[in-house]
Amino acid sequence: MKHIIAIDGPAAAGKSTVAKKLAADLGYTYIDTGAMYRAVALACLDRGIPLADEKCCGEIAASCHIALKPVAEGCLVMLDGEDVTEKIRIPLIAQGASKVSAIPAVRQALVAKQRQMAEDCNVVVEGRDIGTIVFPEADCKIFLSASLEKRAARRYEEFKKKGNDIPLADVTAEMAERDERDSCRDHSPLKQAEDAVYLDSSNLTLAQVVAFVKKQMTGEK
């Protein structure tokens, strides 16, 4: 039987790190749906398409080719054959992804791609609407969160490690704005599925969160 682990939650709650580790430990395929929305935002911006143009953004989402190529550290994000893994990790693209993800036609196109990717393999999928919309039948659903302060501090450190010294206040404001937009949009807002288990990762290590999810998978208390 095919297994699906769904991990939803706000930005920088630790979803990617946990999902990658789980996928590596279990031999499952890792699907980063946020990266797909980021790729669409990049494709639109590269073509000079305003992110408020729902029709054009929807057409781009339906016609562009996005592939998540598994590698040891997670996955490479390929957009029309180009490796955009690093390019999509800047605040401009994060905000852009949040904007295009509110467009129903964009969501429709990407949700279809996500379901296709999981057709014949076990998967760990992270995003905002995985447990509610994309895979409501998932075997294990986790809603991972953490305080805004912790999440912003984590993202700030990640940027800094890459030589990108963005002030903590800017990182915090960007994240709060994105969370608000992602939670308040009309279509598939960020929301905990009724049957998802909530976990606050503010004071937990990666190993603790991974162990918690594995326990949920086996039904252990």
Nearer to ligand DC by C-beta: 32 or 220?
Answer: 32
Q: Lay out the site mask for ligand DC across 129-168 (x = CB under 6 A, - = otherwise).
A: xx--------------------------------------
* Distance in Å, CB of 10 to ligand DC, minimum: 8
Pairwise CA distance, residues 201 & 147, whole Å: 8
Buried b (16+ CB within 10 A) or exposed e, 162-179: eeeeeeeeebbebbeebb
Pairwise CA distance, residues 140 & 187, whole Å: 23
The token pair that represents 105 in the structure block: 């036609």
Per CB under 6 A, the segment of 55-63, 122-130, 192-200, 207-215 that binds ligand DC is 122-130
Angle, alpha carbons 141-10-59 (nearest 5°): 90
Per CB under 6 A, the segment of 34-42, 154-162, 164-172, 202-210 that binds ligand DC is 34-42
Binding ligand DC by CB under 6 A: which of 178, 193, 199, 216? 178
Q: Under the criterion CB under 6 A, does residue 182 sit at the interface with ligand DC?
A: yes
Site for ligand DC in 63-102 (CB under 6 A): 94, 97-98, 101
Count of Cβ atoms closer than 10 Å to residue 76 Cβ: 15
Pairwise CA distance, residues 88 & 59, whole Å: 20
The token pair that represents 221 in the structure block: 């208390």
Element (H, E) at 25: helix 15-26
46 close to 60: Cβ distance less than 8 angstroms: no
Query: What Cα–Cα distance (Å) separates residue 107 from each residue in 54, 69, 74, 140, 156?
Result: 11, 21, 23, 22, 28
* Distance in Å, CB of 218 to ligand DC, minimum: 26
Per CB under 6 A, the segment of 75-83, 116-124, 128-136, 158-166 that binds ligand DC is 128-136
* Distance in Å, CB of 204 to ligand DC, minimum: 19
Per CB under 6 A, the segment of 30-38, 46-54, 162-170, 200-208 that binds ligand DC is 30-38
The residues binding ligand DC (CB under 6 A) are: 11, 33-35, 37-38, 94, 97-98, 101, 127-130, 178, 182
